[in-house]
Amino acid sequence: MAKPRIIILGAGLGGTIAAYEIQHAVKGRAEVMTVAESEDYWFIPSNPWVAVRWREPEAIRVHLPPVFKKKGIGFTSVGAKRVHPAEKRLELNDGTSLTYDYLVIATGPNLAFDEISGLGPHGGHTVSVCETAHAAEAAEQFERFCQNPGPIIVGAVQGASCYGPAYEFMLILETELRRRKIRDKVPMTFVTAEPYIGHLGLDGVGDTKSLLESTLRDKHIKWVTSARVTSVEPGMMHVEEVAEGNVVTKTHDLPFGFAMMLPAFRGVPAVFGIEGLVNPRGFVLVDKHQRNPAFPEVFALGVCVAIPPTGPTPVPVGVPKTGFMIESMATAIAANLSAILDGKPPIAEATWNAICLADFGDGGVAFVAQPQIPPRNVNWSSSGKWVHLAKVGFEKYFLRKIRKGESEPFYEKLALHVLGIEKLKM
């Protein structure tokens, strides 16, 4: 009798860790395979460093096929064209199909640059750090900018659900400009859909509001909150400040010589519009066990998962899915698949706890939110130069995990347990 087949769709942060963890959990009771659109894993949190050439892209790349082969995980980089959940079938980009018994969707998002005229690196007028290739292109533009410096705008547009990298990139740029001794020639403005600085899509964590406002003031960076970007032209961004009730209280025409704005996210084409599987934005619907209610053979984790916002805001603000939160989803799915293979019901629930290190070039902010979505049992934040050093160390540690094919070494599990930070609800 053939073993059941588990397919993981996606090989980013969530998909790669899920593949390792699921393979370990099922212990040969199922065939595990990953379907991705690239043979390479890129450590996305380092993209802001790539964009100022503090890292070369090759330094944050892991070539996956040899690692997956060593771990006994099937792999193809053909990519998926469409999920057919009623048929338990995955249609691939080359016209072939794979059937599955269980599917784990970990695709990440589709970047919705096209929703705002002039936004984005592909035919638009702003750069991006969402993908490593984008960040490498941004580095080239930044070098040209430094030859003729002017205003800089960084931030996140309406509907964005990832704010930490925008703060990071703004303050990394500020550090690099000081190192080049041209900071005095560069007015800087942070433009964000958040209702206040430090909201982060999470209604703040600890004292992030005061910490980040103080940091921006100290660095002479202005800001516009509750901002709706209406369009971007060469060298000019058009922004509306919005109050409750969708009332426009102020408009801004902001000149720039260099701009990076994080876009809104939506679901990828492979799942977009599938009734019962995704919401209107294309994000996968899951229950407390990371399982889709309409198609119980389908699980999902990471940025592709549908999570409602923390509350009403004048401008739409999404909820971020941070690294540790995503890892907790992977752990829950691995445990639930193991239980199902044993004929037991899935009971594992991810904690959705969050640990975040936001690097500011020569300092940073760290926070712990348990759980990530308020109300919380732990709500802590801190700042200091130690955060930058911790982020550098974490980059090296995490890339080592990916290269070795490990999801959570025993010493990491022990350290987190001692700190009271768990991946599964007990």
Tens-digit pLDDT profile for residues 74-84: 999 999 999 99
Nearest by Cα to 339 from 22, 16, 14, 7: 22
102 and 32 part of one domain:
yes
Residue 425 lies in a domain: no
Residue 365 lies in a domain: no
Q: Which residue has the tokens 């300092």?
A: 363
Catalytic residues, which ones? 162, 356
Per-residue pLDDT at 415: 63
Write the pLDDT tens digit of every residue in 130-159.
999 999 999 999 999 999 999 999 999 999
At residue 170 the predicted structure's pLDDT band, cuts being 50, 70 and 90, is: very high
57 and 11 part of one domain:
yes
At residue 417 the predicted structure's pLDDT band, cuts being 50, 70 and 90, is: low
206 and 233 part of one domain:
yes
Which CATH number does the domain housing residue 289 bear? 3.50.50.100
95 and 9 part of one domain:
yes
Q: Supply the mean pLDDT for the chain.
A: 95
Residue 232 lies in a domain: yes
Which CATH number does the domain housing residue 175 bear? 3.50.50.60
Counting the structural domains of the chain, the total is 2
Decide if pLDDT at 244 tops 60. Answer: yes
259 and 120 part of one domain:
yes
Residue 376 lies in a domain: no
146 and 249 part of one domain:
yes
Residue 422 lies in a domain: no
Residue type, 81: K
94 and 143 part of one domain:
no
Decide if pLDDT at 426 tops 80. Answer: no
Residue 120 lies in a domain: yes
Q: Which residue has the tokens 């260099």?
A: 258
Q: Model's pTM, two decimal places?
A: 0.95
Write the pLDDT tens digit of every residue in 219-229.
999 999 999 99
Residue 225 lies in a domain: yes
199 and 310 part of one domain:
no
In this structure, are strands 152-156 and 258-262 parallel, antiparallel, or unpaired? parallel
107 and 150 part of one domain:
no
158 and 280 part of one domain:
no
* Percent share of the chain, pLDDT over 70: 97
Which of 214, 238, 263 is at the close of a domain? 263
Write the pLDDT tens digit of every residue in 186-213.
999 999 999 999 999 999 998 999 999 9
Compute the Cα dihedral for 203, 206, 209, 212 and give only its sign. negative
Q: Which domain holds residue 37?
A: 5-111+266-352
> Please, which residues have CB within 8 angstroms of residue 365's CB and are 6 or more apart in sequence?
167, 208, 211, 212, 215, 358, 381, 382, 383, 387
Nearest by Cα to 57 from 70, 67, 71, 44: 44
Does 356 or 106 have the greater pLDDT score?
Answer: 106
Decide if pLDDT at 414 tops 70. Answer: no
58 and 154 part of one domain:
no
At residue 419 the predicted structure's pLDDT band, cuts being 50, 70 and 90, is: low
Which of 239, 263, 287 is at the close of a domain? 263
Residue 377 lies in a domain: no
127 and 104 part of one domain:
no
Which of 263, 293, 326 is at the close of a domain? 263
